[in-house]
A and B are shown apart, each in its own frame.
Chain A
Amino acid sequence: GAGVSQSPSNKVTEKGKDVELRCDPISGHTALYWYRQSLGQGLEFLIYFQGNSAPDKSGLPSDRFSAERTGGSVSTLTIQRTQQEDSAVYLCASSLLGQNSYNEQFFGPGTRLTVL
């Protein structure tokens, strides 16, 4: 594919429902990142994957948030029992990690989540 893709592009859900957001990274990229972009809050780091493992989960805001990555490729971010404060744009990025320290992240278009 040409770049990082995310689905759905928009999601409207009711408070208390679970949602699943998907990210398809650039083929061959070993690192994958999830961020949350809230109005007026900037870019908030959520979780990072190296391959299928997540060495840093410190950014997940609560235990309602979880993420997984399978096959070193697709990742899903799941939010259980959504709350109105979860409304935001969720961004995914991937990067090619190697011995070269240059590590540009390529971002997807984001999923806009609205919790009513």
Chain B
Amino acid sequence: GNSVTQMEGPVTLSEEAFLTINCTYTATGYPSLFWYVQYPGEGLQLLLKATKADDKGSNKGFEATYRKETTSFHLEKGSVQVSDSAVYFCALRTEAGTALIFGKGTTLSVSS
């Protein structure tokens, strides 16, 4: 079946460090891929998305590239800030699907 696997957290970084959160997926066809972010006490917000192979989604300094050959959509940021501390969810929606399929989430904690 369709699924999303994220690296387990928590990920703990110092301010200005480089961030990578790994995400791989299993799906038929050509799904759309998403990263959502959840700040403490809030709902999920769309961070970025990519809809076809080799697309790069980007927002707020975060980037992720849709890699069909490795079925991956890793999230990266060159220099994290304390305000980036949150839970990050990778998700997919298949061409025939209705709802999103989420990974279990990765908690990021950034200290100054």
Q: Do A and B come from one complex?
A: no
